[in-house]
Amino acid sequence: MIVLKSISSLQNALAKARAKDLKIGFVPTMGALHKGHISLLERCRDQNSICICSIFVNPTQFDDQKDLDNYPITIDEDKKLLEKVNCSYLFLPSTEEIYPNGTLLGNLNLDGLDKIIEGESRPGHFQGVAHVLHRFFELIQPHKAYFGQKDFQQTVVVKTLVNNYHLKPEIIVCPIVREKSGLAFSSRNERLPKKARDNGGFIFETLQEIKYRALNGESLRNLISEKIDFLNTKEQTKVDYLISVNTTNLQEVDDLKKGETVLLTVVEHYGVRLLDNLIIN
């Protein structure tokens, strides 16, 4: 694997791939790689001749400075994992390389999808995500880019970005990879006390129960309200949101007949924001 730190070295490497008309796949990450990231990289490697992973802790997508300061950095371990999955290039740019004119950003048109749900809890987050991806997609011009369903709203925002700005990649969404307990893998899981992490499957179990009972005819609205109350009684647990939305436009829905519906949730557990989701139908 070749590590590229500058845009010029990236462009040189890609020029050779483009001259040979090789398929380029791209997996953007913020590092601290785990099995969720690896599943994206394996898919990318299998579907393309060139597999590029970026590790960039993007400052513009953090609405909380403390969260940015505490973000785990494990580059040496990450490189070993990337070698193991036969990643071709690691793009590891500095903040100055990505934002030469500073990090004050204009507004990208994301059809308002950046302002609802997670965007309401974390103002500016999706604008930051969209800006850095716009930059990466223009620099790399990948044929395919890989994202985890774990960040469901992000996948919808990224598809909107690509569509609204006529960007190149096809967006491939990969399934959520979970720890043994059922807790979705996340770099943030490291911050949970061990016991809480080992018992972290309760969020997924709750989503599965809502799905099962909703498919058996119970009202989604009642189920969600029952389960928010249930989750809030657990130790050190507070639901930020738990809602059912249309998978394409993210508008809230109560009626499964109105199209494909997904449950989205963020639960704060021992001070850690845990995201999860489950498609119902």
Query: What are the residues binding ligand AMP (CB under 6 A)?
Result: 29-30, 36-37, 39-40, 147-148, 150-151, 174, 176-177, 184-187
In whole angstroms, how close is the CB of 30 to ligand AMP at the nearest point? 4
Rounded to a whole number of angstroms, the minimum distance from the CB of residue 166 to ligand AMP is 22
Residue nearest to ligand AMP (CB): 148
**CB nearer ligand AMP, residue 38 or residue 220:** 38
**Quick one: CA dihedral 52, 61, 266, 225, positive or negative?**
negative
Q: Which is nearer to ligand AMP, 198 or 254 (CB)?
A: 198
Whether 37 is catalytic is yes
How would you write 91-146 as a 3-class SS string?
Answer: ECCCHHHHCCCCCCCCCCCCCCCCCCCHHHHCCCHHHHHHHHHHHHHHHHCCCEEE
Report, in Å, the least distance between residue 118 CB and ligand AMP.
Answer: 12
Complex with ligand AMP: residue 182 or 213, whichever CB lies closer: 182
Which residue number, 103 or 219, has a Cβ lying nearer to ligand AMP? Answer: 103
Per-residue CA distances from 102 to 95, 106, 135, 221 (Å)? 9, 11, 14, 44
Closest separation in Å from C-beta 10 to ligand AMP: 19
Please name the residue that has the structure tokens 């505490």: 70
Q: Which of 34, 37, 125, 131 is catalytic?
A: 37
Residue numbers annotated as active site: 37
